[in-house]
A = this chain, B = another copy of it.
Amino acid sequence: MHPSPLRIEPIPGYTPAIGRLVGMLTYARSTTLAAVEGLTLAELDHLHDAQSNSIGALLAHIVVVERSYQVMTFEDRPLSPDEHAQWSTALKLGTEGRRTLRGRSLDHYLDELRSVRHLTLESLAARDDAWLERSVSPAPRLNVHWAWFHVAEDEINHRGQIRWLRTRLPGRRVDDQVT
């Protein structure tokens, strides 16, 4: 992977405000990928304590959060009952997540992250800055720009937890500094 540039600025192929947002989404994703690099299936499934979400479950969560905001902002509708049924465990995590979000390799999560992001970027490239400022139809207190900022923001929140959890995996070294 190319290192993500440390610049937020308009990007060719997107309108200016969308380009800056894409820079933030891309930077956030690059740090998530760095945080999970090389993790084994056992490490992805490891539960730090009885209430912890595994790193794998957090990756599944990052994927479905992005999918959910795609539906709400690109398709202008709330999740369908089917989507809700399929995604709610990863959206809510907790007990049910600990039971079922397991047994997937890093490649599985990386594929999912890549595929959901591909659709996000393709869809953002087809829209403009006026669209970005609109209210989200199924949740009109939010505007679309906040919704996509929140996708990055929620990912960064969980990446902070992933970094913390990673250094405490059995056999991994605790990095005694900022994580």
Residues of A within 8 A of B (CB): 6-9, 17, 20, 23-24, 27-28, 49, 51, 53, 61, 91-95, 133, 141-143, 145-146, 149-150, 153, 156-161, 163-164, 167-168, 174, 176-179
The answer on a CB contact under 8 Å between A95 and B176 is yes
**In the complex, which residues of chain B have a beta carbon less than 8 angstroms from the beta carbon of A160?**
156-161
**In the complex, which residues of chain B have a beta carbon less than 8 angstroms from the beta carbon of A53?**
178
**In the complex, which residues of chain B have a beta carbon less than 8 angstroms from the beta carbon of A153?**
24, 27-28, 156
**In the complex, which residues of chain B have a beta carbon less than 8 angstroms from the beta carbon of A51?**
167-168, 174, 176
The answer on a CB contact under 8 Å between A24 and B149 is yes
CB distance from A30 to the nearest CB of B (A): 12
Give the number of times this chain occurs in the complex, counting copies.
Answer: 2
**In the complex, which residues of chain B have a beta carbon less than 8 angstroms from the beta carbon of A7?**
142-143, 145-146
**In the complex, which residues of chain B have a beta carbon less than 8 angstroms from the beta carbon of A179?**
161
Closest 10 pairs between A and B when the two form their complex, measured CB to CB:
A160-B160, A157-B160, A8-B145, A51-B174, A7-B143, A6-B142, A156-B156, A94-B176, A94-B177, A8-B146
**In the complex, which residues of chain B have a beta carbon less than 8 angstroms from the beta carbon of A91?**
178
The answer on a CB contact under 8 Å between A9 and B133 is yes
Nearest neighbor of A98 in chain B, beta-carbon distance: B176
> What are 14 A-B pairs with beta-carbon distances under 8 A?
A7-B142, A7-B145, A7-B146, A8-B145, A9-B133, A20-B20, A27-B146, A51-B174, A92-B178, A94-B178, A95-B176, A157-B159, A160-B160, A164-B164
The complex places the Cα of A28 from the Cα of B93 at a distance, in Å, of 22
The answer on a CB contact under 8 Å between A163 and B157 is yes
